Amino acid sequence: MRWSDRLFRRQGLPEGGWPAQRVLITGASGGIGQALVDELAAAGTQLMITGRRAEALAATAARHPDRITAVPADLTRAEERQRLVSAARQAGCTMLINAAGMNRVELFTEGSDAEIERLVALNLTATLQLTRALLPQLMVARQGWVITLGSTFGTLGYPGQVGYCATKFALRGFSQALRRELADTRVRVLHVSPRATRTAMNAPEVEAMNAALGNAMDSPARVAQAVRSAVERGRQEAQLGRPERLFVRLNALLPGVVDRALARQLPVIRRFIGTSETTP
């Protein structure tokens, strides 16, 4: 057995490493999802990618023609979700990466019922439904994986992100409960919490707000590298950013301190946010 194979087996992936994996990545038409495609294709992984923008998926697949199968789908539609699941079963997928999602940066009082429903439908409901449908396939694999892209705002409630926080808090609880429910199976569950990420979908106001507040922003490629590293190390949780890890712990232990710190940021947040829709 090669040294690299022993490393993968000990730390997170079975013998064969990434080239032996068959990975389904949602939200692959842009942002972190697209960066994950490039990261894992470069590692030799066979990928099935999905998203709502067929042209963007085709362009991504063209960069790695021998590695990628593109299956456009709207995950909030049951028939399209089922078509994707059928394709993933035929391909023998062993890993699901839930990277599809959206954000609505606005004051909660300025939103609408339709916007809340759309946010919950994509970020939460479709993710749970897709994962449940694919689990039988993952459970018969030598080692299956469910990886969900959450957010720092899945642990830390933040002004201007109320609806988004609600869905990301839920995804974190979903991942934790699913991991415990599958503890006696061969499926591993990983929850990754990126901090602010610089993507083409971010509204200029969001970028300006983060700059004014001094919030660090990662590139999608940096997040993709962190996901790969977390899998290889066999992690269950991964939080990006040292200051964010500290702030999350402080929020758990002394939430009043965080309340006061964010109250001081509130005038700046109110100045910048409107109804800017972004994709993580």
User: Catalytic positions, please?
Assistant: 164
State residue 203 phi and psi, 5-degree precision.
-70, 150
Name the residue among 178, 192, 180, 187 with its Cα closest to residue 237. Answer: 192
51 within 8 A of 102, measured Cβ to Cβ: no
DSSP secondary structure string for all residues of 232-259: HTT-SEEE--HHHHHHHHHHHH-HHHHH
Query: What H or E segment, with its residue span, contains residue 136?
Result: helix 126-139
**How far is Cα 84 from Cα 146, in angstroms, rounded to an integer?**
16
**How far is Cα 173 from Cα 203, in angstroms, rounded to an integer?**
29
CB count in 10 Å sphere of residue 8: 20
